Structure 1
Amino acid sequence: MVETMLHVSKLDSPHRVLDVEKRLYRLSGVRRVRTDVSARQVRVTFDAGELALPRLLDACEASGCAAEPMAHEHLDDATRTAHDDALKRMLVAGLFGMQAMMFACVLYIGRFEPIDASTLALFRWLGLLAAAPVVSYAAWPFYRHAMRGLRRHRPDVDTPIAVAASLVYLASVYAAVTGRGEVYFDSVSMLVFVLLLGRYLALRARKRHRALGQAMAATMPLVCRRRDERGHLHAVAVSELQEGDRVHVDEGGRVPVDGVLHSARVRLDEACLTGESRPCLRRRGEDIVAGSLVLDGPLELRVGKVRLRAASALPELPHATHSPSRVGVAKRDFTHVFGVQLLALTMLVALGWLYFDPGRAFDVGVAVLVVACPCAFALAEPATLTRAMMVLARRGVLVTKPEHLQSLTCAHHLFLDKTGTLTMPALTINRVQAFVGHQRDDVLRAAVALARESAHPLARALVHAIAPGDIPIAEDVTIEAGGGIRGRVEGRYLSLGRRGFNDTDVDGDADDDALWLFDEDEPIARLPFADQLRPSVPDMVKAFVRQGMTVTLASGDSVERVGTLASRLGIRDWHARQTPADKLARVEAAQAHGDKVVMLGDGINDAAALAAADVAVSLLEGTDLARVQAGLILTGDIGALVQARQVAVRAGQILRQNRRWALAYNVCAVPLAACGLMSPWLAVLAMSVSSLGVVLNAMRLRLPSAPAGDDVSVPGQRVPA
């Protein structure tokens, strides 16, 4: 038996769930189907001897829910292991910590009621035994991180925690053995348990976000298009490839396996493998590495004998290898400096009490060390951001770069692509024109032969509009981003693109929005398209305008079509016939004016603008090149971007609340502890409540219940005149 995980982005209603499950169970070999609607995932157990993966994909597509396989068996192993380990340690701390507190109750009663010394000694020893698993096993992650920080000469938040837990426990052991002094076994157990609880909640939220976002990490690299002996392309699993197979990769796509280039030449982005940001030019016969992005193509490669390493096996997507954000670096610097200062403050306070009252120096020093621990500060940002990412993942927004989510709160300018982003093109079959000397069916076959080599929305719409049949093979294909496709079809050199792409003057409207098919320099067909506007686009644009954002529509489409859509959406600033360079220039001009820019696009012609924008947003069905640049990926409704901004603003408010609370707590608690007015057990309780309060406050973040069009208060946001 084989088990596979499928991501089904349109699995959004009980009707679709029932339809998909019914079609899958009809297939011979399917043994079990389990559906997770919230994560848009279907887990299928089937007999590989009776059923192949492509048939599963075909069954889902027949129900109107296209599916993509996911590398679930490796994708979240690290997250799952960390989550399970944190849960075990937290349960141990909770179980034995409760026992330590029960034994401590007898000691507290002994302060008010006389209890014989042997009973007090017994319960001290019982407390020692109960706290031992907590300090030795449950608290081990704090020791490990503290030792790693000390080896690097950079103590962090875990350093004072480890020092405090060790000192309190060892001092309590000494008191239990000698019978002199106070024991704090319950306090140290409570300290470890509450800190582990906070970290477990953060890990749990991160794990759930990772599960909801698996589709982004392993979509097309697990499936590729293989060319058969007749030259036709078929979708197959990467694991089914064999030596000598020819694999086709669209421009903007990711190379799924290692191989040898069969095409004449191609430009690749191999930054995820080599760290080199400049494109690499590869020629026929050269090796192609899995995970490379195709900048101009398409390309074809032959799978070699030992070249079956799939791109999905790479440790992370390219954006995960980028240098850490300034926010992350600043946070690590803060915790390092604070850790050093806290240790210095504790030593100074202890030395001062050694001079005035040596008997209380240790207790006061431990209280200061515990109560001043910056756990609340350290948890404030990761807890809030992780919760925000999990909430947005449920709404269909995958946050791949948290700094983009933070920038979204103060964005001023929204740039929108049109074709494939706001609208989905559809070929108007009854208006297709074949010029004199050419048959309509022949030109459609030739146009589809070129179009199926491209991932552009217009090319996809053309391929889907024509029923599969005897389509010829296009050879020597080259694609110009934002322009068109050239290639040889049945011995003729044809080109497919916008009017003027082939530098040929054709009669008609200069703003013609159709695709033209050229034979050398002669136009032989005109293929018009109609736009289908995504349902939530008007509400999304209105919501952002009401929030004071400047909205710009920049498209490579015709003036008439872009102008009509802009008028329909109420967008005053619109630009047609935009090349990738034009879009990039407009984004940079807005940034030079002081605007924080959000760019929403899905194609390779948007990649440069997405890379330059402060907030890059792409669609899950967009090209790999666009998704790599994106910090936010929309897996469903495009209108979710409005709620993403609302959640980001609310997350910023909660983060500021957490930081203010942590600051107020330290300002009030540290002087009390330093003056000897707070015992170690009370310091443990105060610090634990502070840290747990930060996590619970972050968990209050929810999806906004107000309609998407409602206003949202954004700090520093400009209001339109």
Structure 2
Amino acid sequence: MSTTIAWDSPLLAAKVLRERKDGCSEIALHVDALADLRKVVLLEKRLHGLSGVRRVSMEPSSRTVRIVWQRQDTSLSELLGTMASMGCPAHPLRREAIDDRRSPAMHDALKRLLVAGMCAMQVMTYAFVIYIGVVDFVDFSTRDFFRWMGFLLSVPVVLYSAHPFLKGTWREWRARRLGLNTPIAASVWLIFLASGWNTWRGTGEVYFDSITMFVFLVLAGRFLELRAMQQGRARTDALQARTPLLARRKTAIGDWEWVPAETLVVDDVAWLERDVIVPADGRVTSGAIVVDVSALTGESQAMTCGTGDRLLAGSQVVSGDATLQVERPGTESFAARLADLSRRTVAHTPEDSDPRLSRFVTAVLVLAALTAVVWMFIDPAHAWPTSVAVLVVACPCSYALTRPSLTMQAQLAMARQGVLMTDSRVLDRLPRMSRACFDKTGTLTSPRLVSVEASTIDPMHARELAGALAIASHHPLAQAVLQGLEGERRFHAIQTMEMPGHGVAGTIEGQRYWLGRPDAFGHAATDASALCLGNDERVICRFAFDESLRDDAARAITRLQRDGVHCEIVSGDLPSRVEPIAASLQIEDWLARQSPDDKREHVADIQGEGHVVLLVGDGSNDAPALAQADISASLASGTELAQSTADLLLVSGRLEGLVDARELARAFARKLDQGQRWSLAYNLAFIPLATLGLVTPWLAALGMSLSSLVIIWRSRGLGAGTPLP
């Protein structure tokens, strides 16, 4: 099956086509040839000549072609074949590229913002005429006409653009927890109703310009916040886009065929060549290639991979040819898990982060009411504009926006450092961290298989049996067994089950085997640093390993210790293997032979002494301790259970990413403090002036909105200079 014909598969068509209500199909194609303007003209003319083509849109800047056509007249494969014959090969983009890049929330926010902006500009024009009337250049009938025009244009702003504030107020009152929406909605409706009443009476002040400008500026702030959040989701979208739609699979008779990448299953063999995106996690079984993994791990250096090396889905082949044996299909791959973790990032609302906000809003409402009462005795005509000015000035928008804006920027900065943050609360805990506990095997060290001891079976045969079980485990020792196995696997395990801290068991050719600690499977205990293969009857062979420190382990430990963090090792390995690693890292405190429960209890004991504890581990046996720790971190090579429990995922595999994350958290704390101090100073300065009647509603709206915009703008600088690892 050729590449173009494969695209006629219904499974692939559903991934790249959007079916329109008029019966046409729409597709977005990436075409590198659009860099040549001559080909742009020729290609557009040729496409318009195809049967059923309704519209062709060329975007040379992004190398994108969008086509709307009737598929029953021209198939997708014919469309792609025509373009390829012209020297303009096209690569279909996922259907999401056709849809509006804005999320529904962004699209809705933009519409409300545009309505408020257009109405505000026009109302300001009418207000200018009224302001001229103050010096008697405009008669009363003209003034009243423009007041009514201002009223009419304020209606869509209040009823449509400001509707989210009213809905938010209703939710806050139902939850009995006041937030930002209450003072905003109260200000808008008080000004609107009072100005409308004065317009009806033909006397008194009106502030329709203040309403529309206020709503526009607040919506502008929220729109910028939504954009920042969308940028935070861009990494997730990019990860999803890294999984290719097509893969070249080896058939049973040895031929190669193009198939939908998501149809690949474990043990399928895929062909890799230059510019191909790796379709699944797996191991190279033949050949040698250079791959770019920067989109996944942030590692800028290309990697050379040969037989036995592990590859991640989403990596791009830079040069060379190789075959890949699938271990985890695209939907279960590392890139898919990473995208899922990004989507599940815990984001806490301002109310969750600071319960003082609700009390402050309540105090503002009380103060505005008292101001109105006092001014009713002093000058009733100024009672409502003064109380409204207090409401607007004291609205804690800038205070509440500080944390979410900075949190989103911190998450982006960490991603640039190769660290995925899954719980924003670690930003508060990292600067206070005083103890760091590290697992040894796979975290501080990388194991390497050095010998296979087998008396009743060929060592290579034993290793192949062990490899069939090891593929079901992410434990570093299991991965070391797989490292270097050449060719396609002869044995395949079914009904596999991994037991954290003990090993993995499964059925191979009808017989039950296990790989792990013998005592966990009813046999005599052996050296805890070794891994054994056995069946129900006996231990078949023993694998011995040595260990080497990770490249940046010493630097990471040294930087943490210099920063006042006490580091220690908590391992399940033998003391004879833990002690030399601790000595080489100048770590005085270490524990060996620790079970998963022992690790968790040790972390709890340290917390009982008042310490904020970081635990770094990568195995399923570390999961209880990771859940117990104040801050938990796991490596990209760790098990799914460890990754799902961790607050920080070291995607790049760099332990120094922890130190970089701590420095970023400190910068976050500084900017958070500065932003909240700015908001407090603004309120302390202007609330007294507003209560004295020295601040008009329009000036209060301008000040509050600009204050919020300043906060959002300042947050953009967090981690902006952070280099890629």
TM-score, with length taken from structure 1: 0.68
- Contact 1:499/1:514 (8 A) holds in 2: no
Between the two proteins, what is the percent identity of the paired residues? 38
1:81 alignment partner in structure 2 = 104
Please report how far the alpha carbon of residue 681 of structure 1 lies from its aligned counterpart in structure 2 after TM superposition: 1.6
Q: 1:665 aligned to 2:682?
A: yes
- Between the aligned partners of 1:605 and 1:326, the Cα distance in structure 2 is 33
Q: Find the residue that maps to 2:590 and give its secondary structure.
A: strand
2:564 alignment partner in structure 1 = 548
Matching residue's letter, 1:529: F
Give the one of 462, 473, 478 matched to 2:481: 462
Give the one of 418, 440, 457 matched to 1:396: 418
2:631 alignment partner in structure 1 = 615
- Between the aligned partners of 2:621 and 2:76, the Cα distance in structure 1 is 40
Give the one of 567, 572, 579 matched to 2:583: 567
Matching residue's letter, 2:385: D
Q: Find the residue that maps to 1:183 and give its secondary structure.
A: coil
**CA offsets, 1:620-640, max 9 Å, x none?**
443221122122222224232
1:434 alignment partner in structure 2 = 454
**CA offsets, 1:3-34, max 9 Å, x none?**
769xxxxxxxxxxxx9xxxxxxxxxxxxxxx9
2:169 alignment partner in structure 1 = 146
1:630 alignment partner in structure 2 = 646
- Contact 1:92/1:138 (8 A) holds in 2: yes
- Between the aligned partners of 1:681 and 1:582, the Cα distance in structure 2 is 63
- Contact 2:236/2:343 (8 A) holds in 1: no
Give the one of 648, 654, 660 matched to 1:643: 660
- Between the aligned partners of 2:658 and 2:185, the Cα distance in structure 1 is 42
Give the one of 504, 520, 528 matched to 1:485: 504
Which shifted more, 629-638 or 545-554? 629-638
Matching residue's letter, 1:682: L
Give the one of 472, 477, 483 matched to 1:453: 472
Please report how far the alpha carbon of residue 656 of structure 1 lies from its aligned counterpart in structure 2 after TM superposition: 1.5
Please report how far the alpha carbon of residue 216 of structure 1 lies from its aligned counterpart in structure 2 after TM superposition: 8.8
- Contact 1:405/1:615 (8 A) holds in 2: no
Q: 1:364 aligned to 2:386?
A: yes
Q: 1:208 aligned to 2:224?
A: no
Structure 1 pair 392–246 and aligned structure 2 pair: CA distance change class (3 A): closer
Please report how far the alpha carbon of residue 612 of structure 1 lies from its aligned counterpart in structure 2 after TM superposition: 0.1
Matching residue's letter, 1:433: E
Q: Find the residue that maps to 2:103 and give its secondary structure.
A: helix
Matching residue's letter, 2:710: G
- Between the aligned partners of 2:172 and 2:478, the Cα distance in structure 1 is 54
- Contact 1:157/1:375 (8 A) holds in 2: yes
**CA offsets, 1:412-457, max 9 Å, x none?**
11112233333443434xx43333x422222222222332232322
1:191 alignment partner in structure 2 = 214
Q: 1:676 aligned to 2:693?
A: yes
Matching residue's letter, 2:215: V
Structure 1 pair 218–329 and aligned structure 2 pair: CA distance change class (3 A): farther
- Contact 2:341/2:422 (8 A) holds in 1: no
Which shifted more, 582-591 or 530-539? 530-539
1:443 alignment partner in structure 2 = 462
1:716 alignment partner in structure 2 = none
Q: Work out the number of aligned pairs and report it.
A: 566
1:208-607 to structure 2, matched below 5 A, reads: 208-213=231-236, 328-329=351-352, 331=354, 333-428=355-450, 431-435=451-455, 437-469=456-488, 471-474=490-493, 477-487=496-506, 489-490=508-509, 494-498=513-517, 513-518=529-534, 523-531=539-547, 533-607=549-623
- Contact 1:646/1:704 (8 A) holds in 2: no
- Between the aligned partners of 1:368 and 1:200, the Cα distance in structure 2 is 25
Q: Find the residue that maps to 1:528 and give its secondary structure.
A: strand
1:21 alignment partner in structure 2 = none
1:9-88 to structure 2, matched below 5 A, reads: 80-88=103-111
Matching residue's letter, 1:449: A
Please report how far the alpha carbon of residue 581 of structure 1 lies from its aligned counterpart in structure 2 after TM superposition: 2.0
- Contact 1:206/1:390 (8 A) holds in 2: no
Structure 1 pair 203–604 and aligned structure 2 pair: CA distance change class (3 A): same
- Between the aligned partners of 2:427 and 2:353, the Cα distance in structure 1 is 17
Please report how far the alpha carbon of residue 475 of structure 1 lies from its aligned counterpart in structure 2 after TM superposition: 5.8
- Contact 1:318/1:628 (8 A) holds in 2: no
1:687 alignment partner in structure 2 = 704
Please report how far the alpha carbon of residue 613 of structure 1 lies from its aligned counterpart in structure 2 after TM superposition: 0.5
Please report how far the alpha carbon of residue 461 of structure 1 lies from its aligned counterpart in structure 2 after TM superposition: 2.9
Q: 1:701 aligned to 2:718?
A: yes
Structure 1 pair 319–418 and aligned structure 2 pair: CA distance change class (3 A): farther
1:170 alignment partner in structure 2 = 193
Please report how far the alpha carbon of residue 667 of structure 1 lies from its aligned counterpart in structure 2 after TM superposition: 2.1
Matching residue's letter, 2:605: A
Q: 1:128 aligned to 2:117?
A: no
Which shifted more, 513-522 or 165-174? 513-522
Q: Find the residue that maps to 1:702 and give its secondary structure.
A: coil
- Between the aligned partners of 1:205 and 1:670, the Cα distance in structure 2 is 30
Matching residue's letter, 1:432: V
- Between the aligned partners of 1:652 and 1:560, the Cα distance in structure 2 is 42
**CA offsets, 1:283-333, max 9 Å, x none?**
xxxxxxxxxxxxxxxxxxxxxxxxxxxxx99x99799699x98985463x5
Q: Find the residue that maps to 2:567 and give its secondary structure.
A: strand
- Between the aligned partners of 2:637 and 2:120, the Cα distance in structure 1 is 50
Matching residue's letter, 1:90: L
- Between the aligned partners of 1:344 and 1:607, the Cα distance in structure 2 is 49
Matching residue's letter, 2:692: C
Structure 1 pair 489–136 and aligned structure 2 pair: CA distance change class (3 A): closer
- Between the aligned partners of 1:442 and 1:593, the Cα distance in structure 2 is 52
Which shifted more, 529-538 or 596-605? 529-538
1:717 alignment partner in structure 2 = none
Q: Find the residue that maps to 1:602 and give its secondary structure.
A: coil
- Between the aligned partners of 1:669 and 1:49, the Cα distance in structure 2 is 66
1:81-100 to structure 2, matched below 5 A, reads: 81-100=104-123
**CA offsets, 1:199-228, max 9 Å, x none?**
1122111121123246899999x99xxxx9
Structure 1 pair 326–550 and aligned structure 2 pair: CA distance change class (3 A): farther
- Contact 1:511/1:559 (8 A) holds in 2: no
2:293 alignment partner in structure 1 = none
Please report how far the alpha carbon of residue 166 of structure 1 lies from its aligned counterpart in structure 2 after TM superposition: 1.6
Please report how far the alpha carbon of residue 658 of structure 1 lies from its aligned counterpart in structure 2 after TM superposition: 1.9
1:250 alignment partner in structure 2 = none
**CA offsets, 1:369-417, max 9 Å, x none?**
2112222222222222222223223333222211122211211111122
Q: Find the residue that maps to 2:432 and give its secondary structure.
A: coil
Q: 1:101 aligned to 2:124?
A: yes
Which shifted more, 621-630 or 491-500? 491-500
Which shifted more, 550-559 or 591-600? 550-559
- Contact 1:107/1:123 (8 A) holds in 2: yes
Structure 1 pair 238–146 and aligned structure 2 pair: CA distance change class (3 A): farther
- Contact 1:417/1:554 (8 A) holds in 2: yes
Q: Find the residue that maps to 2:443 and give its secondary structure.
A: coil
Matching residue's letter, 1:334: R
Please report how far the alpha carbon of residue 592 of structure 1 lies from its aligned counterpart in structure 2 after TM superposition: 1.4
Structure 1 pair 334–564 and aligned structure 2 pair: CA distance change class (3 A): same
- Contact 1:499/1:512 (8 A) holds in 2: no
Q: Find the residue that maps to 2:214 and give its secondary structure.
A: helix
Return 5+ residue gaps in structure 2 as ranges: 1-6, 17-31, 33-58, 60-74, 79-92, 253-258, 269-335
